[in-house]
Amino acid sequence: MTQLRVALLSSCTIEVLERPLAAALRERGFEPSFWISGFGQYRQDALDPASGLYQHDPNVVLLYLDAEDLFRQLLQNPFANVGDARRAEGRRVADDIASLVVAIRSRLPKATVVVNTTALPPLNAVTGLEFNSEFGVQDAVAEYNAGLVAFAAARNDVIVLDAAGLAASVGFSRWRDSRMWYLARLRLSKPALEALASGYASTIAARLGKTKKCVAVDLDNTLWGGIVGEDGFDGIKLGEDGLGLAFAEFQEELLNLYRKGILLAICSKNNPDDALQVIRNHPGMRLREEHFAALRINWEDKASNLRALAEELNIGLDAFVFVDDNPVERSWVKQSAPEVVVPEWPTDPVDYKSALLQLSARYFPKLGITAEDRKRGEVYQAQAARRKLESSGATIEEFYHALEMRVRVGRADSFTIPRIAQLTQKTNQFNLTTRRYTEAEIRAASEDERTEVFWLDLNDRFGPSGLVGVLILKQDAPGEWNIDTFLLSCRVMGRTVENAFLAAAAREAGATCLVGEYAPTAKNSPVKDLYARLGFAHVRDVGERRVWRLANAAKLEIPPWFQVERDRNGATADPPLITR
Amino acid sequence: MLDKRLVDTLSRVFNVDPSTITPETSPATLPSWDSVGHINLVLELEDVFGVRFSSESIPTLDSARTLQAAIDALGG
């Protein structure tokens, strides 16, 4: 559980959101503590340096502002404002809220602020006149939303939650509960509170990297209708005809997850030849073999197959969501692999696509797509080819040489900062200190004179792995550097990349002496002895943390199987494989 | 006699042991039954029993006994 301090400010009563929001955050692995602004106090609390908001020192500030509060006068008499004056009002309110967010951020430099789009009731006094006359209200809110979105887009510390979209999805008449407004000055119904809580929790999970990585899907009656072993290649339902389209469109949404950087895997009890024939040749298939990072098509039990998939992909079982139409299989996996998320699944295939979109919003939220995300599927395919080479019987050194690895080490810059922050958020296994950083924190560190933020980019004969390593060094004294963060993406572990990385970075920083520590977590035992392996001496323990020191950093060697290209400030003709 | 679902909901919303809940349980006996707690409780009970309390009745539902009577009257 990750401790999370949340501040909640709103234009209406919002205390009732705490309960569903706390539940939604706990489900996503957070232990929240709340500070909630009083009714109608959001402005004062944001502007008063002594307010409870700043004493709480939140990691996340949720500022829920409702259009009916922001544009109350406009709604009371929509005939008082025409055309441009109304749109100007929308822009003015957006600017006003933007300056409030700037004030909050200036006092909470590490916090993330979540603002929201908002919607007015579609049924109001100018219904019918709207868009047909000079009278209306919606364009004021449209200007407001656009202004707020543009403001947030220019800053990486402000995130937009699309509450207007949530309201449309719930249905505006269900989004409101008039009793709650008149009795408690609450603008939200129970379904609205739940949708908002889930939206906020997913946004926070995306920001802090607490999301799942892989969807494992069944085949018969999940990817296509019917059972290929019984109904045959020509007998399954898949394609443009009838219900076949429900399966084809479900596959299209899986393909969109792949494009977002989510791994797809198959976990099916089937005859592999029958199944592969469909996957490779069926004209209705939207997904092909190349979209799957790994496949388990056999008669083993599915919990064991999921474990095998986890091992092959080098991710935790807790990074999986398992989709299967069969309730018996679901219940078996729930019982025997409880780390895996096993959502209930609709019995009718027409509901598959919307069920998947809900899973996507719930377990795979993203706030940006890196080039890494877009290439992830291919990268895992190359990984499978590497594994084949490894098992081909040569010595380990021969294997390293045969990989033809080329590394580049550079300093963090605006291109690499998003990916560096993402890696600090997501990397669990090869991570010595597991310090999580936001983009703003990485940027600040890279601008600090006594701190070096290095990245590592890896290529080999099977293709690029991209930016897969981060080293943050802090200078203690001239020549003496403390290793604040040392991490590698799990998919390049076991290839001595760490030796090359630390040696190259130490040279670049001009380090003569290095101090590193190992802070144990539930997942990083693979690097427990890393510093010993690199020639460091154990000097002391601080609580659970082991501190190691290397007096002569020049001893660090780049293994002979690496070709190293140095990259000052990342400003070469060949940028690393990451942009936003 | 209190419906078990009412007892369970009170216990869940206010985070107290079900055995402590009696018909006399009220904001006076449960400190967490404040105005926010009351809204949480009402919204939960509406889901559990599939009923809808009127705006006039909501502020008067100030004990387990009156809640049970209101739920019974609505056929929940």
A64 and A38 within one domain: yes
Q: Is the pLDDT of residue A569 over 70?
A: no
Other residues' Cβ atoms within 10 Å of the Cβ of residue A488 = 25
Question: Shortest CB distance from B58 goes to which of A16, A19, A179?
Answer: A179
A246 and A190 within one domain: no
A243 and A157 within one domain: no
Task: Report pLDDT digits (tens) over A296-337.
Answer: 999 999 999 999 999 988 899 999 999 999 999 999 999 999
Quick one: closest CA in A to B35, which residue? A184
Question: Shortest CB distance from A190 goes to which of B13, B47, B53?
Answer: B47
A300 and A198 within one domain: no
CA-based nearest residue to A206, from A252, A150, A251, A162:
A162
> Do the Cβ atoms of B43 and A183 come within 8 Å?
no
In a domain, A380, yes or no: no
Sign of CA dihedral A322, A527, A510, A442: positive
Check residue A578 and give its pLDDT: 42
Distance CA A486, CA A431 (A): 6
Residues of chain B contacting A183 with CB distance shorter than 8 Å = 39, 55, 58-59
Task: Report pLDDT digits (tens) over A523-560.
Answer: 898 899 999 999 999 999 999 999 999 999 988 999 99
pLDDT category at A372 given cuts 50, 70, 90 is confident
Residue at a domain's end among A330, A363, A396? A363
Mean local confidence (pLDDT), A484-508: 91
Task: Report pLDDT digits (tens) over A344-357.
Answer: 999 999 999 999 99
- The H or E element containing residue A264 is strand A263-269
In a domain, A372, yes or no: no
- Sketch out chain B's domains with CATH numbers: 4-73 (1.10.1200.10)
Residues A151/A155/A159/A164 CA torsion (nearest 10 deg): 20
Quick one: closest CA in B to A184, which residue? B39
In a domain, A379, yes or no: no
Cβ-contact A420, A156 below 8 angstroms: no
Residue at a domain's end among A176, A192, A207? A207
Domains in chain A, number: 3
Q: What distance in Å separates residue B24's CA from the closest CA in chain A?
A: 24
Listed range (A222-226, A317-321, A493-497) with the worst mean pLDDT: A493-497
Whether residue A391 lies within 8 A of chain B, CB to CB, comes out as: no
CATH number, residue A568: 3.40.630.30
A284 and A392 within one domain: no
Distance CA A53, CA A47 (A): 10
In a domain, A378, yes or no: no
Mean pLDDT of chain A: 92
A223 and A203 within one domain: no
Report percent pLDDT > 70 for chain A: 97
Distance CA A324, CA A346 (A): 10
Whether residue A186 lies within 8 A of chain B, CB to CB, comes out as: yes
Mean local confidence (pLDDT), A109-127: 95
> Do the Cβ atoms of B43 and A16 come within 8 Å?
yes
The parent domain of residue A314 ranges over 214-363
Burial annotation A112-121 (CB, 10 A radius, 16+ → b, else e): bbbbbbbbbe
Task: Report pLDDT digits (tens) over A26-49.
Answer: 999 999 999 999 988 999 999 999
Total residue count of chain A as it appears in this document: 580
CA-based nearest residue to A310, from A214, A229, A242, A388:
A214
Task: Report pLDDT digits (tens) over A134-150.
Answer: 999 999 999 999 999 99
Whether residue A180 lies within 8 A of chain B, CB to CB, comes out as: yes
In a domain, A376, yes or no: no
A188 and A245 within one domain: no
> Do the Cβ atoms of B55 and A15 come within 8 Å?
no
The first and second tokens of residue A239, run together, are 């394609």
Q: Is the pLDDT of residue A218 over 70?
A: yes
pLDDT category at A572 given cuts 50, 70, 90 is very low
Distance CA A244, CA A352 (A): 12
Backbone angles phi, psi at A453, to 5 degrees: -115, 110
Tell me which of A392 and A20 has the higher pLDDT. A20
How are beta strands A463-477 and A480-488 bridged, if at all? antiparallel
In a domain, A497, yes or no: yes
A105 and A25 within one domain: yes
A286 and A180 within one domain: no
Mean local confidence (pLDDT), B48-70: 96
A400 and A299 within one domain: no
Which chain A residues in 1-20 lie under 8 Å from chain B, judged by CB atoms?
15-16, 18-19
A287 and A272 within one domain: yes
Cβ-contact A482, A433 below 8 angstroms: no
CATH number, residue A106: 3.40.50.1110
Check residue A566 and give its pLDDT: 63
In a domain, A222, yes or no: yes
Task: Report pLDDT digits (tens) over B5-37.
Answer: 999 999 999 999 999 999 999 999 999 999 999
CA-based nearest residue to B74, from B48, B39, B42, B49:
B49
A265 and A147 within one domain: no
Residue at a domain's end among A185, A207, A229? A207
In a domain, A351, yes or no: yes
Which of A10, A15, A36, A194 has the most B C-beta neighbours within 10 Å, making it the best mutation to test the interface with B?
A15
Whether residue A285 lies within 8 A of chain B, CB to CB, comes out as: no
Task: Report pLDDT digits (tens) over A425-442.
Answer: 989 889 999 999 999 999
Which chain A residues in 14-53 lie under 8 Å from chain B, judged by CB atoms?
15-16, 18-19
Instruction: Find the radius of gyration of the CA atoms of chain B.
Output: 11
Backbone angles phi, psi at A23, to 5 degrees: -65, -45
Report percent pLDDT > 90 for chain A: 80
Quick one: closest CA in B to A183, which residue? B55
Mean local confidence (pLDDT), A372-377: 80
What's the pTM?
Answer: 0.74
Q: Is the pLDDT of residue A568 over 70?
A: no
